[in-house]
Structures are given as structure tokens and as C-alpha cells.
Amino acid sequence: MPVRVRYHTDPACPASWAAEPALRRLVTQFGADLSITYVMGGLAREYEAPHAGRLLQWLEHADRSGMPFDPRLWSEGPIASTYPACMAVKAAAEQGPDAEARYIRALREGLMCFRRKLDSKEALVEEARGAGLDVPRFRVDLDSHAIVEAFGADLDATRAHSPELPFWVVGERVIGPGDDLRAAVEEAGARPAGGDAPDVPGALARFGRMAGAEVEAVCDLPGPRANAELWRLAAEWRVKPVRVLTGTLWEAA
């Protein structure tokens, strides 16, 4: 029986984007012995100007985490709310956990890296198409009262634990970003899958687009070695870089 982790997050949460390397490493190490359920915490019902503080916050997360950010979203076309994206994730979850994971990742990349204004129905539907979801079904689910109720339940569960995102709940234990999530899931009974860490092509084949910090974490490569391996593969036309303001994403060529 896999250990269940409830991940309280939001597609537009910069701290959650900064935590992606650790999360992907955990998923790689524990495999089927770990089950992650996304809980939408609703970062902001409504954003109000000025947005300079949010721009600076994203730059600080970029500096600390090594994850690529483009905070010009907040100066060029800021989102009005994160609630539409949260409800869209709940609609994607109706198509299964893999679809949900692909979709929230697409939203994170769109917001954090590509300055996409993902706070309207059509923009969110377009991301569903890019993530390979069943778009007609997604539209129906997104308009349903059940999704509103599911998001409301997520908000209540989040507020019951903590007002700050992200955090994880393992059993009755709440794990914050500074805590040892791996130790918590092991204490709950999860066991590492064993075997060697994947190579870079294998990691990209599994996860799709990755940041250098994620490659470092998943492939167990120190930063300079991960960077060197990525550029070596790029020179062989096996991977290609996708430039982001503060860094780079990588994808299979």
C-alpha cells in the first residue's frame, strides 16, 4: 500500500516551483510506494497592484532554488487571481493522477517561465490541450458545480493546517518546505525503489521538460556535472535548451 502524501499547493506558488527538484527526486526514489494527491490551497483570490513585491519575491526564489523564473509576468500582464487555475487543476484531476500532474506542471511552467496569463477559461483550456488532456471533457468538468465544491473542500483543508503554501501532509504530520519530507515518508512506511538514478535522457523521457536543478536532483549529479552533461547532449542534438529569463529549461530534441 503506497504512502499517501497530500501536497497543498497552488499553480502560481513560487515556493512550490522552487520545490520541484526535491519533489521529482522523491517521486523517482520511491516510485509506486508513494502516492501524491494535489490539494489546491488558493494562493490569492484577487491580486491587487502594485506587483513589485511579487516580482522581487520570484527573483528571490530563483536565486535560492536555481529554478528558472521570468517575473516579468507581474509587469507585463499580471494574473488577477489564482483561483481559476486551481479549479482547472481539479478539473484535470477528473482524468486521473497522471493527467493532473501533467497539467499542474504545464501551468507552473506557463506562469513561472513563459509569462502566460493563465487566469481565464480559454487560456486554461489551451494549456489542457498542450498537456494532452481530453479537452471536451475538461471543458465540461471545469464548468461543473462539483469542481467548485472540490476546490472549496481543498481550501477548507488547507486553512485548517496552515495559511502558508506549500506544505505536505503525511498521515497527521504537516511538513513545511524547510522540513525533511523524505524522512517523513520513510517513517510512514515508504521504501525507496532502489537501483541507480536515471541518466539525463531517461529523466527527460520520464518527466518531459526539466530545469537544470531538477536534473541535478533526479539524476544525482552535482551542479557542474549536470550542466556539463546537458550541454554535451545538446552538442549531440539529443536535448535542447529553452531559455528563460533567469535560467534554462531542457527538453528532448
Nearest to 175 by CA among 10, 50, 19: 19
Taking only the tens place, the pLDDT of each residue in 216-228 is 999 999 989 999 9
Least confident of 34-38, 101-105, 159-163: 159-163
What is the average per-residue pLDDT within 31-35?
93
What is the average per-residue pLDDT within 157-186?
92
Q: Identity (one letter) of the amino acid at 35?
A: S
Sorted by where each begins, the domain ranges of the chain are: 3-187, 200-252
What is the average per-residue pLDDT within 175-182?
89
Q: What confidence tier does 26 reach under pLDDT thresholds 50, 70, 90?
A: very high
Check residue 163 and give its pLDDT.
Answer: 82
Q: State pTM to two decimals.
A: 0.96
- DSSP assigned state of 108: H
Q: Is 222 exposed, middle or buried (0-12, 13-18, 19+ CB in 10 A)?
A: exposed
Q: Is 93 exposed, middle or buried (0-12, 13-18, 19+ CB in 10 A)?
A: buried
Check residue 194 and give its pLDDT.
Answer: 84
Residue 60's alpha-carbon distances to 2, 53, 204, in angstroms, are 35, 11, 27
d(C-alpha 171, C-alpha 180), whole Å: 15
Cβ contacts of residue 214 below 8 Å, gap of 6+? 20, 21, 24, 67, 203, 207
The per-residue pLDDT of the chain, averaged, comes to 96
Q: What confidence tier does 10 reach under pLDDT thresholds 50, 70, 90?
A: very high
What is the average per-residue pLDDT within 72-96?
97
Judge whether residue 75 has pLDDT over 90: yes
| CATH code of the domain made up of 3-187 | 3.40.30.10
Taking only the tens place, the pLDDT of each residue in 188-218 is 999 998 889 999 999 999 999 999 999 999 9
167 membership: H or E segment, kind and range: strand 167-170
Specify the length of the chain in residues: 253
d(C-alpha 73, C-alpha 112), whole Å: 8
Judge whether residue 178 has pLDDT over 90: no
Place of cell 499553480: 11
Residue 211's alpha-carbon distances to 87, 200, 207, 228, in angstroms, are 26, 11, 11, 14
What is the average per-residue pLDDT within 125-150?
98
Q: What is the DSSP string of 10-45?
A: -TT-HHHHHTHHHHHHHHHHHGGGEEEEEEE--S-S
Judge whether residue 177 has pLDDT over 90: no
Check residue 223 and give its pLDDT.
Answer: 83
Judge whether residue 132 has pLDDT over 90: yes
Nearest to 131 by CA among 166, 155, 165, 96: 96
CATH number of this structure's domain 200-252, picked from the four choices 1.10.10.10, 2.20.25.190, 2.30.110.10, 1.10.10.1100: 1.10.10.10
Asked whether 198 and 218 are in contact (CB, 8 A), the reply is: yes
Cβ contacts of residue 79 below 8 Å, gap of 6+? 12, 47, 73, 85, 111, 117, 118, 119
Asked whether 67 and 213 are in contact (CB, 8 A), the reply is: yes
Label residues 104-135 b or e (16+ Cβ within 10 Å = b).
bbbbbbbbbbebbebbeeebbbbbbeebebee
Check residue 248 and give its pLDDT.
Answer: 98
End-to-end CA distance of the chain: 37
Check residue 179 and give its pLDDT.
Answer: 85
